[in-house]
Amino acid sequence: MDSRRLGIVLVRPRLSANLGSVARASKNFGVCDLRVVEPGAFPDEEARRLASGADDRLERLRRFQSVPQAVADFEVVVATSSLRGRSRRRCLDLAGLSRFLEGIGAGGRVAFLFGSEKGGLTEQEMSHASVFLRLPTDPDFPTLNMSHAVAVVLAAARTVPGSVGGSEETWAPAREVEGAIAHWDRALDAIGFYDTGHRDRTLREWRRLIAGGPLSVREVAILRGVANRILVALRRQEEVESRESRVESEEIDPTDS
């Protein structure tokens, strides 16, 4: 797979040494796009030592305040996960990752999302992923060093042929998918869907339901169109009820009181 289509997003990395090791792994596999979600460590002498000739990757490293900002221009987001308490429907193993990337075709950019050394990814951060990737580690000792996980994932992506056929769809970048979800959030709120509470959790599940995989530009347009029709219909209903209320008030004879 063309490494120019790949990006690495490290979420709250605590150790500068890992920045250096990840920079080296990214250069090993020809990936230039390295991003950090704050708060994260900064490159220091230890990072540059472990980069071992990949200092240019550290110099190009870009920093973002949130996961949505960091993945906004990617059409596909693959998150590494232990999958505890999460649906296996969107879970890939390494072999499945290769097939998945082949199916995307040549039109989409892919971000690989890695959680912090200590806490991994939060539920909220995971909800922005198209799919989850589970590495085949030993259950008795499953946690990989961040740079090792990056190297394994990039090696698997590297095996995907560079000129795959795949889908001819034009995939929507994450920022457009998030825009559609925000549109639906307003529509769901307008119809009282959140009246029972748990809005954040419900919205995460809704995001997983409608964005549980790459979405095409056309699919995003359809989602936004439906949400917009809901909002327009509600506004029209409110206008009708308001007019009827005014008419009823005008028909009341004040002398009757």
User: Which DSSP symbol is given to 130?
Assistant: S
Beta-bridged to residue 133, according to DSSP, are: 80, 92
| Predicted local distance difference test score (pLDDT) of residue 222 | 94
| HEC-encoded secondary structure of 138-177 | CCCCCCCCHHHHHHHHHHHHHCCCCCCCCCCCCECCHHHH
Element (H, E) at 182: helix 174-190
Going from N- to C-terminal start, the domains of the chain cover: 3-158, 174-251
For 3-158, CATH gives 3.40.1280.10
Q: What is the pLDDT of residues 227-243, one digit of tens each?
A: 999 999 998 888 887 87
Task: Specify the pLDDT at position 203.
Answer: 85
Q: What is the pTM of this model?
A: 0.79
